[in-house]
Structure 1
Amino acid sequence: MTAFAPGLSVTTRRLLLRPFDPSDARRIRVVIETRAPFLPPGAPGRPSGVAAWLARGAHELRRSGQGAHLAIEADGLIVGAISLFGTRWEAGTTEIGYGVHPLHRGRGYASEAVLGLARWTFGNTSLRRIELRADADNHASLRVAEKAGFVREGTLRAAAMRPDGPRDVVVFGLLGSDLSRGENGPGDGSGGTGETVRWR
């Protein structure tokens, strides 16, 4: 397998991870108008761009074979977004990024979504490794990675540039064998702490 299916969806205990759809237009417009920071890279900055993004832009990553942008849905509401990106099929690796709406943080949605998508990836593709990167001072994202079972592998010094200067970046990795340590692997992350966006 060297591509992600158009209908890729994952169900976890509390969440549905599914492709963005034109029916999400009203919700995404509200998100943009209120400047809630959780949509993936490439999402429009203005409400006028929502229809085109939902029809085409949100699916370009999947069409390229390099990943997929998915909505995180809980109780019928879009509470966040999660993506696989930078996929190298020949190497068997991909990277994961996510964001949770500020009103829905503190409920463990990010780690539950990350773990759910990781399990799907290892069970349904030939990919063997998933990376997750977080700024060293982004403690919420570090907790998300750890709760989802990712292994801290090292720190890239001054590897990210933020508006207020360079940041160290912590690199985490997850292999399929890491999920088989227990019957259910790492916990689902429910009851967790705040989540913040981590996309490159």
Structure 2
Amino acid sequence: MSENVFPDIVLRTARLTLRAPHEDDVDAIVAAVADPLTQRWLPLPDPYEREHAVTFVAETAPTVRASGRGLIRAIECDGELAGLIDLKNTDWRHRTTEIGYWTTPAVRGRGVMTEATVALSRWALTEAAFERVIMRIAPGNTASIRVAERAGFTYEGVARNAGIIHAGRVDLAIYSLIPADLTT
């Protein structure tokens, strides 16, 4: 592994496989990102076309990893795409990174994203030796706040006017997980 590039890992939990997105995921990505709830909280293209997903899988995801900026993983549950999760805004010098994600409508409310967040954040803090993983969540996005809390992240406060969604600027609640949290 290059010093400042995440390895092309596959993580497995009891129900999930976190792996690189591939061409077979394209149609499921298009359908999931077109969902109104996904569009509400993420500033993704709207409409989200097939060519966006093709470019994301073939170019964006591999480039993000190769550049050291982050790591994008498809979440597979029962052989189906259940969402995407990524490490982003990675700062190798300070060993910090941020988790972002979206879930397909079919698996919402089943704990899939909490399980994926636990797997990826714990890996980042242990195997990748990071010192801090954060989540930045619009305060109205109660489902994502529940994921952060159930995954063991600590609420730190609000970064005012720090995010952008289709409706405009929003505050972002900041949650963090550090290595010491894993031993308590």
TM-score range with shorter-chain normalisation? Answer: 0.7 to 0.9
In structure 2, what residue type is equivalent to 1:110?
Answer: M
Q: CA deviation at 1:158?
A: 2.6
Partner of residue 106, structure 1: 109
8 Å Cα contact 2:74-2:84 kept in structure 1: yes
Q: Secondary structure at the match of 2:38?
A: coil
Query: Please, which of 2, 5, 20 is the counterpart of residue 3 of structure 1?
Result: 5
% identical equivalent positions: 36
Q: 1:24 to 1:148 in 2, by over 3 A?
A: same
Q: Mind listing any 5+ residue stretches in structure 2 that lack a counterpart? A: none
The RMSD of aligned alpha carbons is 2.6
* 1:16-95 paired onto structure 2 within 5 Å: 16-31=17-32, 37=38, 45-95=48-98
Q: CA deviation at 1:166?
A: 3.6
Q: Distance in 2 between matches of 1:131 and 1:150?
A: 8
Q: Secondary structure at the match of 1:60?
A: helix
In structure 2, what residue type is equivalent to 1:14?
Answer: R
Q: Secondary structure at the match of 1:17?
A: strand
Q: Distance in 2 between matches of 1:111 and 1:77?
A: 17
8 Å Cα contact 2:32-2:103 kept in structure 1: no
How many residue pairs end up in the alignment?
180
Question: How does the TM-score come out when normalised to structure 2?
Answer: 0.85
In structure 1, what residue type is equivalent to 2:172?
Answer: V
Q: Mind listing any 5+ residue stretches in structure 1 that lack a counterpart? A: 182-200
Q: 1:94 to 1:134 in 2, by over 3 A?
A: same
Q: Which runs of 4+ in 1 moved over 4 A?
A: 29-36, 38-42
**Residues 26-35 or 90-99, more deviating:** 26-35
1:168 aligns with 2:171: yes
Question: How does the TM-score come out when normalised to structure 1?
Answer: 0.79
